[in-house]
Amino acid sequence: MWLKESGSAWRKSEEAIDCRQYQVVSVTPHTTAEAQVLQEAVQQLQLQQWTEPHGLGVPVDVMVPPSLVEVFLSGLQAKHIPVQVKITDVQAIIDEQAAKRPVSKSLPRTFDHNKYNSLEEIASILEGVEEEFPSLVTISSAGTTFEGREILVAQVSSDGGETRPVIWIDCGIHAREWISPAVCQYILDELTSGYDTKSEITELLDTYDFHIIPVVNPDGYEYSWTTDRLWRKNRVPNEGVLECHGVDVNRNFEVAFGEPGASDEPCSELYQGPEAFSEDESKAVRDGIEALGSRVTVFYSLHAYSQDWMTPYGYTDALPDDYDEMIRVVEAGVEALEDVFGTSYTYGSVANTMQLNQDRSHSLLGLQESATPPSKGSYPGGEQTLDFESHFVPRSHPAAHIGLEDVTSGASYDWAYEIANIPYVNTIQLRDEGTWGFLLPEEEILPTAEETFAVDSSEQIVKGGICHCSELVRPSVSAESQEVSIGGYV
Ligand SMILES: [Zn+2]
């Protein structure tokens, strides 16, 4: 039924990719059979999915080259599967956005949140920020990529960065999700410019250190600027498969590695790599977190798009032991985010959110209705402390759910929770819900960033979702716990 025309394997070319008249089509399967028809079409026609299947009744966005639009649409329509064309010419949008982007004569030294910044610009801005706030910010390299680029990490600390609990935020693990590095830059800007000028930021930074990686995957990010706007993976050459580059860094972590939810095909967008932690980018995240040991209290990894705020697990629909506590804080964050502009987010564990999506019912997401209401104290929150005795001792590993299709294996958030034992683990799919998808216009950078992390200067409150840190049960980090060995689990 799905006739593949020659030349449709467009992703194999090393030439600059032209997506002229490529369409983005939203397909909504309502039965398992319809979902199978869609999957068959995507595989046989070698189409690029912009979103993963999120369960029945939830649209999947698929990009279709012009030569295949008719066969794809007519095939689905013959089966009465609802389709909606969201974007009629991907390249036209890419070109229009690039033409509008101002070309700066010299590299910037300060943030500009009205535009997406290139890798070179981000590196220059980070240098500028470190110069401007030398007692607050340290920029260092978390690793070097295959193509020789540094993976820069910004440490923000008001007391030298040695003792406090750490909030980890990484962005740009997937190259084409440009809003993610943009939001990381905004958070860094808010933290640095807000210290000593905004009371909530001052309090936040007198309680926590932040470690922020604006671009985990610089090779991929650069490639998405120069050659293929819709590139996802890193840029390593894959042995024996000359035409297919790249590993999906977020399938390369050593947790449920190689289980369902990743691919062992080097040409796949979800290629997991030859072995866990084979990639410099995943190693950089791992090593950065390991070096901080039990100080890492909150982990955020920012992605796009779909407006989902998710916790572990991704590889199984089982819920982690600490799910109720994590989701209690997530709910506070989502509420705060939605309060800013009314943007709607779905939340829950990755596997369950991907299955259920539109349904935010607590019972379906496995939440206890009797969960303790959130406390609203300012940080440090409450009297309780987390038990750090077990920190960095890997947790138990539930079996992957056999037969569940909407799972994700080898992902950073599951590693962060299960292996690194971080108490609060979040992965967030930022704006939008598919109107623009990865091509989110620059006008949406600021509102996206503000709802995700923003301080209201008049009320002096953190009003966005990150970091809703007043909700955290603040860990006590003793000198002893900082010395917990982390050598045993690599
Ligand atoms: Zn992503």
Q: For the residues of 350-400, what is the DSSP string, one character each? A: HHHHHHHTT---TTTTT--TTPPPPP-PPSSPSS-----TTTTS----PPP
Which stretch, 325-334, 361-370, 382-391, has highest mean pLDDT? 325-334
Do 160 and 93 lie in one domain? The reply is no
Do 54 and 177 lie in one domain? The reply is no
Q: How far is the CA of 175 from the centre of ligand 1 (A)?
A: 8
pLDDT band of 405, cuts 50, 70, 90 = low
User: 71-112, pLDDT tens digit by residue?
Assistant: 999 999 999 999 999 999 999 999 999 999 888 789 999 999
Do residues 290 and 158 make contact, with C-beta atoms less than 8 angstroms apart?
A: no
Evaluate if residue 383 carries a pLDDT over 70. Answer: no
Question: What is the predicted pLDDT for the residue at 105?
Answer: 82
Evaluate if residue 356 carries a pLDDT over 70. Answer: no
User: 144-170, pLDDT tens digit by residue?
Assistant: 999 999 999 999 999 999 999 999 999
User: 408-451, pLDDT tens digit by residue?
Assistant: 999 999 999 999 999 999 999 999 999 999 999 999 999 999 99
Assigned domain for 2 exists: no
Q: How far is the CA of 354 from the centre of ligand 1 (A)?
A: 13
Least confident of 184-188, 239-243, 247-251, 476-480: 476-480
Do 149 and 73 lie in one domain? The reply is no
Do 305 and 238 lie in one domain? The reply is yes
Evaluate if residue 482 carries a pLDDT over 60. Answer: no
Assigned domain for 106 exists: no
Evaluate if residue 222 carries a pLDDT over 50. Answer: yes
Do residues 73 and 47 make contact, with C-beta atoms less than 8 angstroms apart?
A: no
Do residues 281 and 150 make contact, with C-beta atoms less than 8 angstroms apart?
A: no
Assigned domain for 104 exists: no
Q: How far is the CA of 438 from the centre of ligand 1 (A)?
A: 10
Do 306 and 339 lie in one domain? The reply is yes
Do 169 and 83 lie in one domain? The reply is no
Question: What is the predicted pLDDT for the residue at 4?
Answer: 44
Question: What is the predicted pLDDT for the residue at 7?
Answer: 38
Assigned domain for 113 exists: no
Question: What is the predicted pLDDT for the residue at 377?
Answer: 31
Over residues 59-74, the mean pLDDT reads 96
Question: Which of 159, 113, 59, 186 is closest to 454 using CA atoms?
Answer: 186
Question: What is the predicted pLDDT for the residue at 395?
Answer: 80
Higher pLDDT among residues 55 and 293, named by residue: 293
Over residues 340-362, the mean pLDDT reads 73
Question: What is the predicted pLDDT for the residue at 127?
Answer: 98
Distance CA 430, CA 394 (A): 29
Counting beta carbons within 10 angstroms of the beta carbon of residue 77, is it exposed (0 to 12), middle (13 to 18) or buried (19 or more)? exposed
Assigned domain for 114 exists: no
**Domain that includes residue 472, residue range:** 119-489
Least confident of 12-26, 99-113, 412-426, 453-467: 453-467
Evaluate if residue 242 carries a pLDDT over 70. Answer: yes
Q: Which of 98, 129, 158 is the last residue of a domain?
A: 98
Question: What is the predicted pLDDT for the residue at 13?
Answer: 43
Question: Which of 94, 92, 116 is closest to 104 using CA atoms?
Answer: 116
Question: What is the predicted pLDDT for the residue at 424?
Answer: 92
93: CATH: 3.30.70.340
Question: What is the predicted pLDDT for the residue at 54?
Answer: 74
Instruction: Kindly state the greatest CA–CA separation across the chain.
Output: 66
Question: What is the predicted pLDDT for the residue at 58?
Answer: 86
Ion ligand 1: protein residues whose beta carbon lies under 5 Å? 174, 177, 303
Q: Are strands 241-245 and 237-238 parallel, antiparallel or unpaired?
A: antiparallel
Do 285 and 423 lie in one domain? The reply is yes
Do residues 481 and 366 make contact, with C-beta atoms less than 8 angstroms apart?
A: no
Do 164 and 23 lie in one domain? The reply is no
Question: What is the predicted pLDDT for the residue at 475?
Answer: 46
Do residues 430 and 302 make contact, with C-beta atoms less than 8 angstroms apart?
A: yes
Q: How far is the CA of 173 from the centre of ligand 1 (A)?
A: 7
Assigned domain for 5 exists: no
Q: How far is the CA of 487 from the centre of ligand 1 (A)?
A: 29
Do residues 167 and 300 make contact, with C-beta atoms less than 8 angstroms apart?
A: yes
Q: How far is the CA of 427 from the centre of ligand 1 (A)?
A: 9
Q: Which two tokens stand for residue 314?
A: 């991704």
Do residues 407 and 401 make contact, with C-beta atoms less than 8 angstroms apart?
A: yes
pLDDT band of 341, cuts 50, 70, 90 = very high
Higher pLDDT among residues 435 and 52, named by residue: 435
Q: Which of 98, 132, 150 is the last residue of a domain?
A: 98
Question: What is the predicted pLDDT for the residue at 167?
Answer: 93
Reduce the DSSP state of residue 84 to 3 states and report it: strand
Higher pLDDT among residues 280 and 478, named by residue: 280
Which stretch, 7-16, 235-244, 287-296, 458-467, has highest mean pLDDT? 287-296
Assigned domain for 108 exists: no
Evaluate if residue 385 carries a pLDDT over 70. Answer: no
Do residues 351 and 406 make contact, with C-beta atoms less than 8 angstroms apart?
A: yes
pLDDT band of 363, cuts 50, 70, 90 = very low
Distance CA 364, CA 342 (A): 24
Over residues 11-17, the mean pLDDT reads 60
Do 28 and 156 lie in one domain? The reply is no
Q: How many domains does the chain have?
A: 2
Q: How far is the CA of 71 from the centre of ligand 1 (A)?
A: 29
Do 87 and 234 lie in one domain? The reply is no
Q: How far is the CA of 15 from the centre of ligand 1 (A)?
A: 24
Q: Which of 42, 66, 98 is the last residue of a domain?
A: 98
Do residues 175 and 220 make contact, with C-beta atoms less than 8 angstroms apart?
A: yes
Average pLDDT, the chain: 84
Higher pLDDT among residues 92 and 488, named by residue: 92
Assigned domain for 109 exists: no
Question: What is the predicted pLDDT for the residue at 463?
Answer: 56
Evaluate if residue 484 carries a pLDDT over 80. Answer: no
Do 287 and 357 lie in one domain? The reply is yes
pLDDT band of 490, cuts 50, 70, 90 = very low
Q: How far is the CA of 305 from the centre of ligand 1 (A)?
A: 8
Q: How far is the CA of 57 from the centre of ligand 1 (A)?
A: 22
Evaluate if residue 401 carries a pLDDT over 60. Answer: no
Q: How far is the CA of 218 from the centre of ligand 1 (A)?
A: 14
Q: How far is the CA of 180 from the centre of ligand 1 (A)?
A: 9
Over residues 198-210, the mean pLDDT reads 90
Q: How far is the CA of 302 from the centre of ligand 1 (A)?
A: 7
Distance CA 474, CA 385 (A): 6
Q: How far is the CA of 236 from the centre of ligand 1 (A)?
A: 18
Do 138 and 222 lie in one domain? The reply is yes
